[in-house]
């Protein structure tokens, strides 16, 4: 259904593929796949309707990308920007995932 390509600093790309939400019991499931150069991760978002499932699937994918080693190091780009252009839950920011150096010892 949907696809977005991200660049990795130093070369390579990561491809996010999002499937159309489908009924799953009384709810809806929106599956996605993140294809890294050396592995693939499949997961999903669940919602009470197809729109909520899509939004939660995109938010989950965003967290997966940011929580990756490349994301934590700030090496993942979309159109040359660090902002990946995907939704996040209101209480989460991309900065929450960036590795911060340890403070110097006193």
Residue ranges per structural domain of the chain:
2-82
Residue 102 scores a pLDDT above 70: no
Higher pLDDT, residue 98 or 80 = 80
What does residue 13 show for φ and ψ, rounded to 5 degrees? -145, 160
- The pair phi, psi for residue 29, each rounded to 5°, is -120, 135
Tokens at residue 21, please?
């939400």
CA dist 24 and 62 (Å) reads: 22
- Other C-beta atoms closer than 10 Å to the C-beta of 78 total 17
pLDDT band at 64 (very low <50, low <70, confident <90, very high): very high
DSSP state letter for 96: G
pLDDT greater than 70 at residue 45: yes
Tokens of 22: 């489908």
Residue 46 has pLDDT above 90, yes or no: yes
Model pTM score: 0.88
Name the β-bridge partners of 13: 7
Record the tokens describing residue 43, joined without a space.
């997961």
Question: Using 50, 70 and 90 to split pLDDT, how confident is the model at 89?
Answer: confident
Residue 26's pLDDT is 97
User: Among candidates 62, 74, 9, 59, which has minimal Cα distance to 37?
Assistant: 9
Percentage of the chain beyond pLDDT 90 is: 81
């Amino acid at each position: 259904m949907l696809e977005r390509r991200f660049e990795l600093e130093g070369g390579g790309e990561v491809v996010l593929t999002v499937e159309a939400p489908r009924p799953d019991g009384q709810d809806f499931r929106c599956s996605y796949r993140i294809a890294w150069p050396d592995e693939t991760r499949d997961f999903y978002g669940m919602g009470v309707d197809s729109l909520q499932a899509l939004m939660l699937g995109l938010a989950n994918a965003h967290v997966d990308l940011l929580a990756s080693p490349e994301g934590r190091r700030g090496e993942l780009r979309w159109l040359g920007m660090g902002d990946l252009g995907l939704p996040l839950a209101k209480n989460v920011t991309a900065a929450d995932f960036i590795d911060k150096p340890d403070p110097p010892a006193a």
